[in-house]
Amino acid sequence: MRLARLYAGSPDRRIADIRRDGLHKLTTSISRRFQIIGIEDLNVKGMLGNRCLARSIADMSFGELRRQLEYKAAWRGGQIVVVDRWYPSSKTCSCCGHRLDVLDLHLRQWRFPDSDTLQDLDENAANNLRNMAVSSTVTAC
């Protein structure tokens, strides 16, 4: 029984190891599949002020994710593009460029008026980040 406890460690340590392993697998997969990786510079400290989301956000280890992506991309010759936290990635339509003035956090889908497309806000923001990352790395001849 003692040997089993010693081998497994504490439950908290085991969970931390599982999360760390998952983070390494995720960042390795992303850095292998993509040469240019766009990430958003989030105000994590401000996000932790939200009592409802603080625990989930702290568990995500955004800082560690960014650190691992940066060094793994550098190993593979990739590039990380950090988009400014004030860039309105969720409020801007990735199809037509229309920008909303106000966007409530409870909304998950929105029909942009200019393009009349119904988009998931997370996918729309990801498309905008991708477009921003690609456009910032393109050089003129």
Cβ(133)–Cβ(94) below 8 Å:
no
Condensed to tens digits (0 to 9), the pLDDT of residues 111-129 reads 777 777 788 888 988 999 9
Triad 22, 134, 88: Cα angle to 5°: 80
Beta bridge partners of residue 83, listed in sequence order: 40
CA–CA distance, 90 with 16 (Å, rounded to integer): 31
Where does the pLDDT of residue 7 fall: very low under 50, low under 70, confident under 90, or very high at 90 and above?
low
Distance CA 127, CA 93 (A): 9
pTM of structure: 0.74
Pick the residue with more confidence: 97 or 87?
87
pLDDT at 15 over 60: yes
